[in-house]
Amino acid sequence: MNTNTTTYSANLSKRKALDYCLYMLLASYFDKAVCKNKTLENKLYLYYKELSADKQVDMEKRCLKALKKSALAKMPNNYFHQKVEISLVTKAGGETEILLDDGFTVIGVMSTGAPAYKVCTRKVAMAKEA
């Protein structure tokens, strides 16, 4: 078996598990969070569930620490007391961006990947008026 292929596959699995963990923790901060693309959510969930319980807990701790330093620190407290729609978008490099839409503003959150566990946040756009 090609070592590069095995390493790439392991890194991809870890990356997808990290993306799910970030999504899960971020969604838990809102009064209600609805994911718009269940298929990708379920795929990411399967990568996360492949991890041992110890690795899941460790990943959650690291993600939460990174979220508190960056994304959560940039969002006002009242932002979390509402319903948001979440879109999971796979980027060209394979990373997943989490788009939060509260009906007024769309905010993108994305991990820079393991093992750094850094999270970048950007204002994507103003939501469309109905």
Q: Over the Cα atoms of the chain, what is R_g?
A: 15
Above pLDDT 90, what percent of the chain?
26
Q: How far apart are CA 14 and CA 96, in angstroms?
A: 12
Cβ-contact 36, 83 below 8 angstroms: no
Cβ-contact 30, 83 below 8 angstroms: yes
| Averaged pLDDT for residues 82-107 | 83
Q: How far apart are CA 90 and CA 103, in angstroms?
A: 22
Tell me the per-residue pLDDT of 21-59, one tens digit each, with 9 for 90 and over.
989 998 998 889 999 999 999 999 999 999 999 999 999
Preceding omega of 115 cis (within 30 degrees of 0): yes
Q: What residue ranges do the domains of the chain occupy?
A: 3-126
Q: Judge whether residue 130 has pLDDT over 50.
A: no
More confident residue, 90 or 42: 42
Q: Judge whether residue 76 has pLDDT over 80.
A: no
Cβ-contact 101, 84 below 8 angstroms: yes
Q: How far apart are CA 40 and CA 46, in angstroms?
A: 10
